[in-house]
Every structure is written in C-alpha cells, then in structure tokens.
Structure 1
Amino acid sequence: MLKPRLAALCLAAGLIVAGGGYALAQQQADDDSTGGENTPLNLPNDVAVFGKFDPTIRKATAIVNGFIITDTDVDQRLNLVLAANGQKVSTEERDRLRLQVLRNLIDETLQIQEAKSNDVTVPSSDIDQTFQRVAGQFKNTPDQFTAFLKSKGSSANSIRRQIEGELAWQRLLDRKVQPFVNVGDDEVKQVIARLNASKGAKEYHVGEIFLSATPQTDAQVHANADRVMDQIRKGGSFVAYARQYSEASTAAVGGDLGWVRAEQLPDAIAQILPEMQPGTVSPPIAVPGGYSIIAVQDTRQVLMSDPRDAVLSLKQMTITFPKGTTQDQAGPRVAAFAEATQKMGGCGGAKDVAAKLDADVVENDNIRIRDLPPVLQTQMTAMSTGQATTPFGSVTEGVRVLVLCGRDDPEVAGKPSFDQIYNQMEQERVDLRARRYLRDLRRDAVIEYR
C-alpha cells in the first residue's frame, strides 16, 4: 500500500498527464472545426476496461532469481554513469552503455543474493557511512548529493544499492575466498630479490579495466572494449568506466592498480607498458580470460628518489585584467610583470613588487612538484630557491607566476615491505577466484528478460 504522500504524488502525476492529454485533444478539435470534416469517435458512455491499469507499476527489464530489475533501475544507474563521465554520448553508445549497466545490475544482484544466502549482510549504517564519504568527495552533504543525483536523473537509492553490492561482495570474499588463498614466504622473497635486482627500473601507476571473455564471446567483448577505449580517449572518465565495466576487484576503486613494475603484470601488458606515456590509455590487450584496457597515470624508478616528489614552499602572484581586455592590450603589463618578478630577489621581495603591480599574493607550503601541471613540473625541477616561473594563465582568468621559497627534497624510496608484497600477491589470487565465483553464479542463476 502506498504511503499517503507517495500516493498523492502519483495522483498528481496522473492528473498532469490527463490534463495534458485533454489539452491536446481540445486543440485538435479546435483545429478541425476551422475546416475539413470532423469524424466523431462514437465512443460509448459506459466503457468496459479489460485488465487493470496501474501507472505506479514499473515494467520489469530482468528478473534475477525472483528479484526484479526495472527500467527505472537501469535508467537511474545509466544516468549516474553519464553524470560521472561528464561527456555527451551518441544514442548508439547510450544504448550500448544501457546494456552494460543492465549486466552490471544483474551481477550486483547475484552478489547481494549470494552474500545473504551465506548470512553476510551490510547494515544500513555502513551504507550511510560510505554514501556520506562519496558525497564528501563531491564536496556535498548527503542531502545536497541526493539533490544532485536527482537533478541528473539518478537517485540516492541507486548509488546506495551499488554501495551495498560492493560491500556485500567484498565481505563474502573475505569469508569464503581469502582464507583459502595461500602465498608462500619463498614466493615473497623471490619478488623482493627481483626488486633488488631491478633497482632503477621503471614503475608505473596503472589503472585497469578488465572484461572477461570466452571463445564464444571473444569478438563481442573485444568490440565492446574498443568502444570503451574510444570513449575514454574522447574525454570520458577512466574511473567511471572502470567502476561500471571492469570485472576485476579494482573496479570498486576506479580500476586503480597502484604502483607496479611491468614484470608484475601479464606478459602482453608488460610488453606494451614501457611504450606508454603518463596520461595515455592502451587499446584492448588480450590477456588470459579476456581483455584489459590499461591507463598509465605516472611513472617512477624502483627504489630511487624522484625529484617530482620534492615538497615546495611557494608564493603565487596573480595579476588580473578588466573584462574585455585583449591579448595585445594585456601584453605590456604581462611583460612588466615577468621582468619585475624575475628581478625581485626571491620571496622576500614579493610583497613590495605585488603592491607596485597591483598583484595578489597567495602562499602554500605543501605542494609537491608532481601535483603541478606538466609544463610547470619541468620548470620547478630545474629552479633554485628565490627564482620565479615565467608567467602563465590567461587574460580572462588571470596571469600568474610561482615563486620558489623553499624545497624539501625526497628521500630515496624504500622498497616495499614483506607484508606489502604479500598482500598484493594475495589480492591478485583472490581477484582471480572472485571472477570464477561470479562466473559460476551467472551460470546457475535463473534470469528472465522482459
């Protein structure tokens, strides 16, 4: 039975639709009366309706072991993906995304059902806590985030269901899979020995999207992986696609694999990784069990310090221009700004120079070089204390320079501990068994499509 307020909303929606229909029919009647023949419909006064009409009933898209996934469920999750992606997609791509979202919802349902059948439940308080943390990442309160989701055609319930699925599945794996995964001490020692032998070799901060395939589905999965890669290269969010598409356990963290060396990954990935630059995405790579799409976020050298890890103390000086100022009109002032900041004698003279140039000054004592835009990383790595960058920015948003007030150089990177390596190897094996577990759940499920 509907709650009073919900029933009232449904009634109001029904009246709006009915009113709109009447207005359209009345407009048509008015148009017809101005000319031409008007054929009456000859409807009876007493209309017998066969069957029950209930506008509150949502048609099922799929029924998974008795659990109904509706069109609304799919649409809300799809809109969540599109909002996270921040990119317009074609109708054809939207249809493909919708199909993938439905598959994800089916997997999510199977995971929740399997967890419950093993007495693994997720308290609503845990879901609330995660939802609050996600809202915080958007700099929203939970109520603000709920309103944001609604404005995008999604809902808080949709993302809460996804949170429940991820937490339930992880807790089930912790109980039924992880205790039976073994990593030997000798295996870990071998990895440490290889690390020592590879000092100075490259490490990669890698993201992954893994799509499983069988010989029967290989062509279809490969084509789907191509489309995902194409959307990401056009500006789509790798993290958003990883969360919705990837079948690896890293999907929950946006596909983040952390720092790895090429030899720690499957051979096919290890071969292509050294050719990739930070910020690039690979084409689909055939790996055992399916295809992987790899994103390289950053690189560093094994057991070596990286100058980009230096922590800087900076002053940022900014000059702004009246609205409508052209590049040519701003040129002389930018040139004077560049000359003055190069000659001011470091951070001590910044205040006086800023006053003469009507510039704003902001200080920050905790900026890593690696967190700056690439072009500024190059300058900062080579700069000495007291020097300023060349001006950068735009006439509309302001022209800036960064003045280096101090630098804390990084220590030589320590090698991963025994426990860190052990945990990584264990997680990889849990991930493999988890994929097999989910595959078996799909195979045994009763799924009806409507």
Structure 2
Amino acid sequence: MAAGFGVTKARLWVVAGAAMIAAGSGAVAQDAGQGQTQQQPSDTNSAQSLKLPQNAQIFGNAMPSIIKATAIVNGEVITPTDIELRLALLVISNGGQISPEEAQRLRDQVLRNLIDENLQIQAAKADKIEVKQSDIDRTIQRVAANVKQTPEQLAAYLEANGSNIKSMRRQIEGEIAWQRLQHAKIEVSVGDDEVKAVLDKMTASKGTEEFKVGEIFLSATPATESQTLDNANKILAQLRQGASFAGYARQYSEASTAAVGGDLGWVRPEQLPAPLATVLQQMPAGAISNPIQVPGGFSILAVQDTRKILTADPRDAILSLKQVSVAFPKGTARAAVEPIVARFAEAARSIGGCGGAEKLAAEFHGEVVTSDQVKMRDLPPALQRLMLPMQVGQATQPFGSLEEGIRTLVICGRDEPSSTAPSYDDVYNQLNDERVNSRARRYLRDLRRDAVIEFR
C-alpha cells in the first residue's frame, strides 16, 4: 500500500502504503462563564418554544473550543492538527516505519514543509495562478488508482490511519501551484551549442557508466550547518532501515525534484557538482550515500540503477512471459512441500516452451498468468540475474515461499534492446530542468525571507 503513494508527480509522492499517528488538536476547554456574575433565574424558560428533550443524546464529535496555532504565515494559521494529519501521511507513505522518537523530530520538519507550502500557494495566488478543484481531483484519482482503490476508499483509508483527504488535497494543491509558478516566473535559456556539447561528450563517453539517481537536498547556512547535518544523518538512518527514499524526498528535500520523489533521472557523474560526482562514481546500484556537503547544504544520493552510455543493455529487453504458480493449503508442512517442489522444478526444466505452461499448471493444480511487454529491468534483481542468460522457451527455477506458493516464469518472447543516443530534446529538457531547479531554490528562499511568520 505504501509504495502506491509514490506514483504521482506530487510530493507524495506521496503519496506515496501503514502505521497511524492520532490527530490531535491541542485544544484546551474553557469555562465560558468563568469570572462572570451569576444571574437570577427567570420564571420564563426562554427555550420553551424549541420543545427540546430533557435527556438529549449527543451525536458526533465535539469541536475544540480553541485550536491552538503553531505558526501563522502571512496571516494563514497552521495548527497542531495540520501537522499531525500531514505527519500521518508521511507515516502511511513509509509503511508505518517511523518510531515515536522519530515522529517527534519529524514534526519540526513537517511544520517547515507546511510553511513553505503556504508560501508557495500564496505566491501563486498573488500571481493570479489558479489551481482548480478538478486539477486536484485528477491527481487524487491517480493516487487512488495506483493503490487499487476508488477516491472514496482512499479517503476512508486515510481517515482510518490518522490523516484525511483534505490534508492530501492541500499538499497536492501546493505542489501544482508551485510547479505552475515556476513555469510562470522562472525563465532560463539553454543554447544549441550547450546541447551539442553534451551530445558530443556522450558520444565520446560511449561505453562508460551512468546512474539513475535520487537526491534529498537539505539547505544550510554556516549557522545551521551542524543542525542540518544532524537532521540528514537521522534521515539516512531511517532510509537504511527501509524507509521510502521517494517518500522522504517528497517531504524533506528542498530541491524542486522533491515533487517527483527526488528523482534526477539518468545522469553521468560529470553532470553533477564535483562533491556529488566523486561519491557517485563509487556507488553500486541500490546504495545510499552518507550526507555530502555541497554549496548551500547537504545532499543524500541513492543509486537506483546503472547502465552503460550508448551501449545496449540486455536488462532493457522486453519480455513476453507466462507464469505458472502453485499454491499450498494453509498449514502444509515443509516436509510435505519439498518433494512437490522437486517434481515441479524437474517438470519446469523440460516444459517444452510456452505451449507447455498449461500442461504444467494442470499437472500441479496451478494457474497460468500471461504478461506481455514486461521490461527485464522491472523484474526483481534476483530474477534479472536468473533470466539474463535464458532463451525463449525456457523456464526459470522455481521461486517463492511456503506461504505464497511456488512459481516459475517461462519466456515466450524476447525483444532485445538497441543502443540509441538521447535526442536533442532529451538533453535540452535535462539542462533546462537543472537550471529551473537551481532558480526555484533561490525563489523559495526569497519567499521565506520576505514572509511574516509568527510562531505560537
């Protein structure tokens, strides 16, 4: 469920499956009559005409008398409840992998995010940029579809886990507003000679490695450097315990790529600042770096994949597959399963191509699922290694578990990749995005500097 909240272009995500943090208002009840002179009762009951029951049953939840403000941003209030609802979204997107101690620290970061979000929405409105409810509805529908729910089911799920759909809608509004404001206010130029220089360099670098990289950037000044590094190390500890990199990037990164989970796309080390390039060259796929000091702050890098420049990668092959799966009754002993697995493995080795999948399934009372247009790269790494040398018509060794059953994949078709250089537009867009990212950080810094923010 948590992974589904990371599928939008928003800082979800979000949205991107879950633990729960109860929403708290921090309200304090007050005695409305305290300090007032008691009046003598009147003979006439002023509410008599309402015919109210003497023992009324109260329905619903009481509203707190006071909703305590945590911050006021140019006149707009951020309450403790806002923070708890947004924190719960973060918990959901990370599969509930946040300890109570970590949650307390994260509240400070969530407050900073909410302040930035308000500044971004306010700046967009001041520039006559409108985010329609229908725009937010479409994003909500995509998020719900990615976790195989309707928008109504998504709303109920959020409520059950300490957040609500209103908080998610506000976050989406902020992301859309900020993206549109960047397009309206930030102008950058990329020359033909710059694009050509990158393409020429790529041709000269054919066969060298490039990386699919995610980044979390935390800004720092000399005065806040120590505190920022401490925060970066705490985020790193959570990531290495299995927290979602994309989820943390959406919530904490101050780069414009936060909206897409910190995704920098495919980059070569020389495209990045020298401190990042030096570390990146030493990182294998799946690695997460220590915080790296860069001008203006600290970055954490995650290498999601690697490939050779302008060289065909067999992992880019497109496969047509049949999966034969066999389930075991609940409570089946391992000793009873092992001989079945051995027979299934022997039968899979002599399956005789995809045409034998149905026969194999019938023999073991299993089922067959056909999947076309499957990218080798999208399979789990262990299966990639297993299937790279396989030919059409061959089946993998059985894999799975006692609880989930065993299965084998049969390769029915395989379209090998071709090596092609990126287009002019691809390079242009990447250079353009890098410059917009830099300008956006400066723009948000200016908004913070000019804002009137009161903390309560």
Shift, 1:54, TM fit: 7.8
1:79 aligns with 2:88: yes
Identify the match of residue 228 of structure 1 among 224, 231, 235.
235
Match for residue 126 of structure 1? 135
Shift, 1:47, TM fit: 10
Aligned residue for 1:148, secondary structure, equals helix
1:214 aligns with 2:236: no
Match for residue 117 of structure 2? 108
Identify the match of residue 57 of structure 1 among 50, 66, 70.
66
Distance 1:106 1:231 in 2: 24
1:407 aligns with 2:402: no
Shift, 1:100, TM fit: 0.2
Match for residue 59 of structure 2? none
Match for residue 67 of structure 1? 76
Match for residue 428 of structure 1? 434
1:109-160 per-position Cα deviation (integer Å, ceiling 9, x unaligned)? 1111112222222122212222222222222222111111111111111111
1:396-447 per-position Cα deviation (integer Å, ceiling 9, x unaligned)? 21111112222111122x2112222112111111111111111111112111
1:11-41 per-position Cα deviation (integer Å, ceiling 9, x unaligned)? xxxxxx99xxxxxxxxxxxxxxxxxxxxxxx
1:300 aligns with 2:307: yes
Aligned residue for 2:370, secondary structure, equals strand
Match for residue 93 of structure 1? 102
1:195-249 per-position Cα deviation (integer Å, ceiling 9, x unaligned)? 1100111111111111111111111101101111110110111111111101111
Aligned residue for 1:281, secondary structure, equals coil
Q: Which letter does structure 2 place at the counterpart of 1:443?
A: R
Maintained 8 Å contact 1:87/1:235: no
Shift, 1:393, TM fit: 0.7
Match for residue 155 of structure 1? 164
Distance 2:119 2:448 in 1: 7
Q: Which letter does structure 2 place at the counterpart of 1:85?
A: N
1:189 aligns with 2:196: yes
Aligned residue for 2:281, secondary structure, equals helix
Instruction: Give the alignment's TM-score, normalised by structure 2.
Output: 0.85
Larger Rg: 1
Shift, 1:175, TM fit: 1.3
Following superposition of structure 1 onto structure 2, how do residues 358-397 of structure 1 map, counting pairs within 5 Å? 358-397=365-404
1:152-182 per-position Cα deviation (integer Å, ceiling 9, x unaligned)? 111111111111111111111111112xx12
Distance 1:262 1:425 in 2: 14
Shift, 1:78, TM fit: 0.6
Distance 2:189 2:374 in 1: 41
Identify the match of residue 442 of structure 1 among 444, 448, 452.
448
1:396–1:65 Cα change, 3 Å: same
Maintained 8 Å contact 2:275/2:294: yes
Unaligned runs of 5+ in 1: 1-16, 19-45
Distance 1:447 1:230 in 2: 31
Instruction: Give the alignment's TM-score, normalised by structure 1.
Output: 0.86
Shift, 1:322, TM fit: 2.3
Distance 1:56 1:160 in 2: 26
Distance 1:336 1:419 in 2: 53
Q: Which letter does structure 2 place at the counterpart of 1:78?
A: L
Distance 2:97 2:412 in 1: 43
Aligned residue for 1:60, secondary structure, equals coil
Distance 2:363 2:424 in 1: 57
Q: Once structures 1 and 2 are overlaid, which stretch shifts more, 310-319 or 429-438? A: 310-319
1:320–1:92 Cα change, 3 Å: closer
Match for residue 210 of structure 2? 203
Higher helix fraction (1 or 2): 1
Distance 1:47 1:97 in 2: 36
Following superposition of structure 1 onto structure 2, how do residues 215-294 of structure 1 map, counting pairs within 5 Å? 215-294=222-301
Aligned residue for 1:388, secondary structure, equals coil
Aligned residue-pair number = 403
1:299-349 per-position Cα deviation (integer Å, ceiling 9, x unaligned)? 111111110111112222222222222222211111111112212322223
Shift, 1:376, TM fit: 1.3
Match for residue 350 of structure 1? 357
1:361–1:239 Cα change, 3 Å: same
Shift, 1:74, TM fit: 0.7
Unaligned runs of 5+ in 2: 1-27, 37-61
